[in-house]
Amino acid sequence: MPKLGMEPIRRDALVKATIAEIGAAGSLDVTVARIAKRAGMSSALAHHYFGGKDQILVAAMRHILTLFGAEVRGALAMADTPRARIDAIVRASFSPANFRTETIGAWLAFYVQAQTSPDARRLLAIYRRRMRSNLLAGFRPLLADRAEIAAETVGALIDGVYIRQALRQGAMGRDDAVILVNKCVTGLVGEGH
Amino acid sequence: MPKLGMEPIRRDALVKATIAEIGAAGSLDVTVARIAKRAGMSSALAHHYFGGKDQILVAAMRHILTLFGAEVRGALAMADTPRARIDAIVRASFSPANFRTETIGAWLAFYVQAQTSPDARRLLAIYRRRMRSNLLAGFRPLLADRAEIAAETVGALIDGVYIRQALRQGAMGRDDAVILVNKCVTGLVGEGH
Amino acid sequence: MPKLGMEPIRRDALVKATIAEIGAAGSLDVTVARIAKRAGMSSALAHHYFGGKDQILVAAMRHILTLFGAEVRGALAMADTPRARIDAIVRASFSPANFRTETIGAWLAFYVQAQTSPDARRLLAIYRRRMRSNLLAGFRPLLADRAEIAAETVGALIDGVYIRQALRQGAMGRDDAVILVNKCVTGLVGEGH
Amino acid sequence: MPKLGMEPIRRDALVKATIAEIGAAGSLDVTVARIAKRAGMSSALAHHYFGGKDQILVAAMRHILTLFGAEVRGALAMADTPRARIDAIVRASFSPANFRTETIGAWLAFYVQAQTSPDARRLLAIYRRRMRSNLLAGFRPLLADRAEIAAETVGALIDGVYIRQALRQGAMGRDDAVILVNKCVTGLVGEGH
DNA sequence: CATGAATGAGTTTTCATTCAT
DNA sequence: TATGAATGAAAACTCATTCAT
């Protein structure tokens, strides 16, 4: 069985298994053994490739963030007006992939992990900076100096709607989420838009 | 010399110690031993009074929610216009007690616990229902049938701002938080208010 | 079973079990589980009382050193001439308790541990200082300024004879060891004594 | 491109890497992986050539002993009086190569290993026999029937001084070591020599 | 000849929980 | 009421060793 070039395959499988496991468990209380099993290998191999549990977790988080970033970039590429840019970000935030219970659970768990892990915090900070600068680029042409606060508001609102989804019960659909945030955006940029 | 009626005192001490410990740790990875030590008793006694770790955790969450509820009620009592009611809720949400890093950390941790513990989820659902109905009571006179979405928006925004505070870095102050949310409220209810 | 005041009993049992286990294994490759089992308790309890494996090991070393120190002190108390003092130290070094294969194995293992553990090194340094000052007190009246080198020589010789004993094969008896070192002492202090 | 006759090269590299690694670690707690890495090959290859960790360790020990033996032989070749022979052995024992912290650490570690590994014990026994017969050859012409005990004494003293060096702190230099042992030799063979 | 891949067995350590007193 | 004592179960992590290529 042992072929060459297994490392990227194994790492990838582990990252995906980690997200799945966290999502299923709803928390970071996930054992390396379970992750490895789900990924179809021994826990020793997981350690071999990642060095330790924390690094597996961080890699999983990075993966989610990367996917999200790609989604945003893809949506932004098709947006040609400022308002469309904002819309694109909102839509990407609540895209099917991001809105899966699994992903939300993992995301929430990472928030908690960021409380103690510098690596996790750094990643989350990067995500937030990007989000902010993307929103700002959309709001600036529309609101000039009021763009800052608008970006902050929409950023927080997205996070809030997203996090509320974590309580599976009484959750709203993706479309509802998009509509809700968009209504707020409309309120911020004024009736004229 | 064992005194009578120690139970409420012990329970209270444990609940407070739990919140402090969770806040300090930034996660639910808190041992019963540490909580009990902080509360000045043996872990065996903690078990005796609560039956198990999960129940201690839930009691702590209930405590936070109760405090928050009292704060909201107190603020609402002094509000005599719909807008003032909304304002009161926002202010209470970011009150000094609620905005302490400790409390935020505990709150976040409970969100995660709600993923797996039905008790925790129920408590969180109650909090959300109350929040929603309170906001609705404020928005209804101002927005009629658009009140629902406004309440949902502000609720989510509060959660979002709150949760963002958990990343201690780049956080905003209480006043800024209140102002941010209020700006959004103003946008929702229109210029006239 | 759980009575009060078990701690010193348990600690003592663990220390003795550790020495026995190290002696039996002939190296520090000894598991906490085995030590605990020999001491009649779970490994968890061993950790509870000592905090970790290293501390158990250091405690065992300290125990050996304490025993040795007591033996030397006892022997010295009965010595009334300088030469008798030196003799007492030599005899104590090769006392039955110290010359047991178990003890020698443990001693040797600790030498190795001192390479990496600061605690172990400190203990060994203390032992050496005491040994040196004791020998010096014996040699000074006899050799004046040549006492230093004599003390160093006899100290090293004792260690050498002792360590050679670790290779069970071709070892000498206690009496032979004492005679050997004493011959050297006689050579050092001159024929007249 | 696998070359022919790599075996001796690989084995040699592994042996040297082993000694270096043991010396650096100060104990036998050395992994095959680290040794192999230091020797520039995979751990699998190390196993291939030696069969197992223990055998690698024993080979390393044999290497040290061989070096030491050669050094002694070289020094003896230039000695033309009995006393010079003894001197040569002492000097070789504390030669720069043997007195390196690395070597001393490895030596000490092997002493411990000899407690459990018959192979290691056999090697150490050989070393001791040689040492003894070499010293005896020097002492016999000088001391006749007292040569035995003198050889034993000096052998043990060399070991003792050597082992004391392992506690890096408060160690003496090579020259001091030689002087110390020589003073003892002088004492043993008497003033006239 | 050489190695990346893979793992089973073992080690330390932690912790919620139980129990006799 | 209160606790020190005690442990079983599980977790992360390590490592010598094997094997297909």
Give the confidence band of B4 by pLDDT, cuts at 50, 70, 90.
Answer: low
Q: Is B155 within 8 Å of chain A by CB?
A: yes
pLDDT over 50 at D132, yes or no: yes
Residue D33, CA: closest nucleotide via C1'? Answer: F15
What is the model's pLDDT at position B193? 43
The spacing between the Cα labelled CA in A31 and the C1' in F12, in angstroms, equals 9
- Residue C12, CB, strand F, below 7 Å: no
Quick one: closest CA in D to C176, which residue? D149
Give the bases of strand F that a protein CB approaches within 7 Å.
Answer: 1-21
Distance from CA of D175 to the nearest CA of C (A): 14
Mutation target among D102, D103, D112 for the C interface, most CBs of C within 10 A: D112
Q: Do C108 and D124 touch (CB under 8 A)?
A: no
Cβ-based contacts of C65 with chain D (< 8 Å): none
Question: Which residues in 1-20 of chain B line strand F, with CB less than 7 A from it?
Answer: 2-4, 6-7, 10
What is the model's pLDDT at position A4? 74
Q: Are C112 and D112 in contact (CB under 8 A)?
A: yes
Distance from CA of C7 to the nearest CA of D (A): 32
Q: For each successive 10 residues of chain C (193 residues), what is the average pLDDT?
A: 80 96 87 96 97 94 92 93 94 90 84 85 91 95 92 95 80 89 88 46
pLDDT over 90 at D166, yes or no: no
Of residues B51 and B117, the one with the higher pLDDT is: B51
Q: Which helix (H) or strand (E) holds B119?
A: helix B118-143
The spacing between the Cα labelled CA in A52 and the C1' in F13, in angstroms, equals 8
If you ran DSSP here, which 8-state letter would residue B86 be given?
H
Residue (of D104, D119, D85, D74) closest to D171 by Cα position? D104
- A22-37 per-position pLDDT tens digit: 988 878 889 999 999 9
* Mean pLDDT, residues D21-28 taken together: 85
- For B29-74, give the DSSP string: ---HHHHHHHTTS-HHHHHHHHSSHHHHHHHHHHHHHHHHHHHHHH
- B132-171 per-position pLDDT tens digit: 999 999 999 999 999 999 999 999 999 999 988 887 666 7
Residue A1, CA: closest nucleotide via C1'? Answer: F20
What is the model's pLDDT at position B115? 82
Cβ-based contacts of D184 with chain C (< 8 Å): 153, 157, 184, 187-188
Residue A34, CA: closest nucleotide via C1'? Answer: F11
Quick one: closest CA in C to D164, which residue? C156
Of residues D190 and C186, the one with the higher pLDDT is: C186
pLDDT over 50 at D75, yes or no: yes
Quick one: closest CA in A to B158, which residue? A160
Q: Is C58 within 8 Å of chain D by CB?
A: no
The spacing between the Cα labelled CA in C111 and the C1' in F19, in angstroms, equals 40
Residue (of A90, A22, A132) closest to B164 by Cα position? A132
Q: Which amino acid is at B26?
A: G
The spacing between the Cα labelled CA in D41 and the C1' in E3, in angstroms, equals 9
Percent of chain B with pLDDT over 70: 95
Cβ-based contacts of D152 with chain C (< 8 Å): 172, 180
Quick one: closest CA in B to A27, which residue? B112
- C154-179 per-position pLDDT tens digit: 999 999 999 888 876 667 888 999 99
Q: Which residues have C-beta within 8 Å of that of residue C123, sequence separation ≥ 6?
A: C58, C61, C62, C65, C110, C114
Q: Given its phi and psi angles, is residue D41 left (phi above 0), alpha (psi -120 to 50 degrees) or beta?
A: beta
Cβ-based contacts of C185 with chain D (< 8 Å): none
Give the confidence band of D192 by pLDDT, cuts at 50, 70, 90.
Answer: very low
Q: Are C184 and D160 in contact (CB under 8 A)?
A: no
Residues in chain C: 193
The spacing between the Cα labelled CA in B33 and the C1' in F4, in angstroms, equals 13
Residue C50, CA: closest nucleotide via C1'? Answer: E13
Distance from CA of C39 to the nearest CA of D (A): 23
Q: Are B18 and B56 in contact (CB under 8 A)?
A: yes
The spacing between the Cα labelled CA in D52 and the C1' in F17, in angstroms, equals 8
What is the model's pLDDT at position B105? 83
Give the number of other CB atoms < 10 A from CB of residue A23.
21
Q: Is B166 within 8 Å of chain A by CB?
A: yes
Q: Is C159 within 8 Å of chain D by CB?
A: yes
The spacing between the Cα labelled CA in D24 and the C1' in E3, in angstroms, equals 26
Of residues B1 and C54, the one with the higher pLDDT is: C54
Q: Is A161 within 8 Å of chain B by CB?
A: yes
Residue D124 CA to residue D131 CA, distance in Å, equals 10
Q: Is A25 within 8 Å of chain B by CB?
A: yes
Task: Name the H helices within chain C.
Answer: 6-25, 32-38, 43-50, 53-77, 82-93, 96-99, 101-114, 118-143, 147-164, 174-189
Distance from CA of D24 to the nearest CA of C (A): 10
Interface of B with A in 112-151 (CB under 8 A): 112-116, 121, 124-125, 128, 149
Tokens of residue A159, six digits: 């996070």
Percent of chain B with pLDDT over 90: 66
Of residues A163 and C167, the one with the higher pLDDT is: A163
Nearest protein residue by Cα to C1' of nucleotide F5: C2
C-alpha C25, offset from chain centre: 18
Question: Which residues in 17-46 of chain C line strand F, with CB less than 7 A from it?
Answer: 41-45
The spacing between the Cα labelled CA in C122 and the C1' in E13, in angstroms, equals 26
Nearest by CB to B187, from A112, A164, A188: name it: A188
Residue A72 CA to residue A67 CA, distance in Å, equals 9
Give the bases of strand E that a protein CB approaches within 7 Å.
Answer: 1-21
Tokens of residue B95, six digits: 């009150």
Quick one: closest CA in A to B26, which residue? A115
Nearest protein residue by Cα to C1' of nucleotide F4: C4
Distance from CA of D3 to the nearest CA of C (A): 39
pLDDT over 80 at B2, yes or no: no
